[in-house]
Amino acid sequence: MRSYLARRLLLLIPVIFGVITLVFFLIHLIPGDPVDIMLGETASSSDKETLRKQLHLDEPLGAQYLHFLNRLGHGDLGRSLHSNRPVLSTILKRYPNTLELAFFAMLIALLIALPLGIFSALKQHSAVDTGSMFFALLGVSLPNFWLGPLLILLFSVELNLLPVSGKEGILDFILPGITLGLGMSAILTRMIRSSLLEVKQKEYVLCARAKGLAEYRVVMKHTLRNALIPVVTIVGLQFGGLLAGSIITETIFSWPGIGRLTVQAISARDYPLVQGCVLFISLTYVLINLGTDLLYAFIDPRIQYQK
C-alpha cells in the first residue's frame, strides 16, 4: 500500500503543476484591463502606471507567471480588486459552505440511489425496475438551472414550506441539496443496478446460493459488497463534479459558497479572485480523485499491484 501511495503522490505533482499553469494562462486570456477596473477609467495615467508596476502587469507574461508561482509557494493568492482583501482568506471563508452543501447533496443521492439500484437489480424487468430506470432518465435530463427555480416555485412560493435562499439553518440545505443531488442519484442508480446485475452472474454468487445461504446474506455479503467497488469510483468523480455544479446552484439559492463567489468575481472582473476560486475548485477535484484512487485500492487490493 505504501508503494502504491508513493506512486500516486508522485503522479499528483505534475497534475497539480499543470492545473496551476492552466488556470494562470486561462485567466490572463480574459479581456479587459484590471488596472482600469481597480482605479476606474478616469484615473490619471501616472496612477495607472504605478499600480501596473506594483502588480507586475508591465512585465512579460512569463515573468508574471514566475511571480505567480513565487506568491503561490508562500500561500499568497493576491488581493481582491474590489474589496482589497486577501483572496485566500476570502475563499477560505466561503469554502466550508460549499463542502457542506456537497456532502448533503451526496447524502441525498446515496439515500435515493442505493435502495433504487439494489431493488431494481434484484427485481429486474419488474415495475420497480422500470420505475427506477424512468427516474434515472428523468434525473439526468433535468438541468440544475431549471430544477432549482422549479423547486423554489413549488416548495417556497406555492407551499411556503422551505426557505428560498441563504444559509441559516438545516432547512436551507434541502432545496439546493435536492437540486444538486437528484442528477447524481440518477447516475448512481443506473451504475448500482448494472454492477449488481453483472456480479449476480458470477460463479461465487451462484456457489453461495448452492450452499443454501439465505438470500439476504448472498445479496449483502457476496453480491452488494463486490458490486459497490466500481461505484466508489463514480461517487468520487461525481463528488468532484458537485463542486463545479454548485456554481449554478449556489447562484440560484444565494448560497454563500465558493461557487457563488466565483460568479460574483467573474461579473466584477475581479481577476485575482476568479483565479483563486477556479484554482481551489480544480485542486479540490484533483485531490478528491486521489482519495478515490486510494479508497479503491484499499477496497480492492489487486489495484495496488497493477503496474
- The structure's pTM equals 0.82
How does the average pLDDT of the chain come out, rounded? 82
| Contacts of 107 by beta carbon, 8 Å cutoff, 6+ apart | 177, 181
Type of residue numbered 21: T
pLDDT cut 90: percent of the chain above it: 11
Side-chain half-sphere CA neighbours of 212 within 13 A: 0
CATH class of the structural domain 90-200+226-305: mainly alpha
DSSP character for 123?
Answer: T
Q: Select the highest-mean-pLDDT range: 18-32, 113-127, 198-212.
A: 113-127
Taking alpha carbons only, the member of 106, 104, 103, 98 closest to residue 188 is 106
Q: What is the pLDDT of residues 137-179, one digit of tens each?
A: 888 888 888 888 999 999 988 888 888 888 888 889 999 999 9
Q: What is the pLDDT of residues 290-300, one digit of tens each?
A: 887 777 777 66
Would you say 135 and 189 are in contact if contact means Cβ atoms under 8 Å apart?
Answer: yes
pLDDT cut 70: percent of the chain above it: 93
DSSP character for 158?
Answer: I
Query: In whole angstroms, how far apart are CA 275 and each of 27, 34, 90, 94?
Result: 6, 13, 13, 15
CA–CA separation, 284 vs 237, rounded Å?
11
Residue 60 clears pLDDT 60, i.e. is over it? yes
Tell me which H or E stretch contains 162. none
CA–CA separation, 57 vs 34, rounded Å?
9
pLDDT of residue 217: 76
pLDDT of residue 38: 67
List the chain domain ranges. Answer: 90-200+226-305
Band (307; pLDDT cuts 50, 70, 90) = very low
Q: What is the pLDDT of residues 179-218, one digit of tens each?
A: 988 888 888 888 888 888 888 877 777 787 777 777 777 7
